């Protein structure tokens, strides 16, 4: 497999009339990476992903997906990608098994239908018409259809929206198992926890721009890296943000010991992705 990135996007923008949905986005996704686009609704995540999937034409910028321009909608490229749309429908009178057999036939080297049904947790519903399936089961069928062609690159647009916590965990396990198979995954979500759990790298998107980009744990380079909290003997809660917790802690604990007192409820924490996210996406 080549070392070229799975996805390379430079200066991507998309305009609908007067509205600029995407305003100059750069993205590089390495092969085998799970890349998360995190942002509030209307941030431009879906527009961006749908340009990568070949659904939409861009207004400006360059886009390469597996080395090809998705706007050309080449069959060869579409055979190598799998797509879970935010709301993709299915024929109401088809069964999951038939749907997977049909979709498998579109790809050169599909996975076994029975195995994919198992992976998606649909073995019991394999011969039930889709109109009788629950929302969660339909969503698992979306996954199954995207996987049955054994694609190299998988797009997941808000894959767990509307899931209960248990179903979400199950979906995360599926996504992790895909990563373990070496698949490249691009995931959009407005759930921080999901980005944090799954993504190797996260880009925070708002108003069509990327505000920050990096591994979830390192995100927020602009923000203080550590937050120290404690309670004074008078009962007042104190929070200190610092890049250098060792020194600050040394001073604080030194003072406290010199006084013969204590630092109640002392804690040192790194800001979570959530705090960075809320800070970045807050409306001024």
- Enumerate binding residues for another protein (CB under 8 A): 53-55, 75, 78-79, 83, 85, 87-94, 98, 102-103, 105-107, 129, 145, 149
Closer to another protein by Cβ: residue 107 or 172: 107
Least gap, CB of 161 to another protein (angstroms):
14
∠ CA 254-255-258, nearest 5°, is 85
For another protein, which is the closer residue by CB, 51 or 212? Answer: 51
Q: How far is the CB of 158 from another protein (least distance, A)?
A: 13
Are the CB atoms for 68 and 220 separated by under 8 Å? no
Minimum separation from the CB atom of position 75 to another protein (A): 5
**Among 42, 43, 45, CA closest to 27:** 45
**Burial class, 261, CB count within 10 angstroms (exposed 0-12 / middle 13-18 / buried 19+):** exposed
Least Å from the CB of residue 81 to another protein:
8
State the nearest-atom distance from the C-beta of 84 to another protein, in Å: 10
CB-wise, 154 or 202, nearer to another protein?
154
For another protein, the closer of residues 129 and 176 by Cβ is: 129
The whole-angstrom separation of Cα 221 and Cα 225 is 7
The three-state secondary structure class of 51 is helix
Which one, 90 or 229, has the nearer CB to another protein? 90
- Which residues have C-beta within 8 Å of that of residue 217, sequence separation ≥ 6? 270, 273
């Amino acid at each position: 497999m080549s070392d070229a990135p799975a996805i390379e996007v430079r200066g991507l923008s998309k305009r609908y009339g007067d509205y600029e949905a995407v305003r100059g986005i750069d993205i590089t996704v390495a092969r085998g990476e799970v890349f998360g686009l995190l942002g509030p609704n209307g941030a431009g995540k879906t527009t961006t992903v749908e340009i990568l999937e070949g659904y939409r034409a861009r207004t400006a910028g360059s886009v390469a997906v597996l080395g090809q321009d998705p706007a050309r909608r080449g069959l060869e490229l579409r055979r190598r990608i799998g797509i879970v749309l935010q709301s993709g429908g299915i024929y109401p009178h088809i069964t999951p098994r038939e749907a997977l057999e049909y979709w498998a036939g579109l790809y050169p080297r599909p996975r076994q239908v029975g195995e994919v049904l198992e992976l998606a947790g649909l073995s019991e519903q394999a011969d039930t018409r889709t109109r009788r399936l629950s929302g969660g089961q339909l969503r698992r069928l979306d996954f199954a259809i995207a996987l049955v062609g054994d694609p190299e690159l998988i797009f997941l647009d808000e894959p767990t929206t509307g899931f209960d916590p248990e179903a979400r965990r199950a979906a995360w396990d599926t996504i992790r198992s895909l990563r373990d198979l070496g698949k490249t995954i691009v995931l959009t979500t407005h759930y921080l926890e999901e980005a944090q759990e799954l993504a190797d790298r996260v880009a925070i998107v708002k108003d069509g721009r990327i505000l920050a980009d990096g591994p979830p744990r390192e995100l927020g380079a602009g923000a203080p890296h550590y937050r120290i909290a404690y309670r004074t003997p008078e009962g007042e809660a104190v929070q200190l943000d610092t890049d250098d917790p060792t020194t600050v802690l040394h001073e604080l604990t030194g003072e406290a010991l010199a006084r013969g007192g204590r630092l109640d409820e002392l804690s040192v924490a790194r800001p979570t992705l959530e705090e960075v996210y809320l800070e970045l996406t807050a409306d001024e």
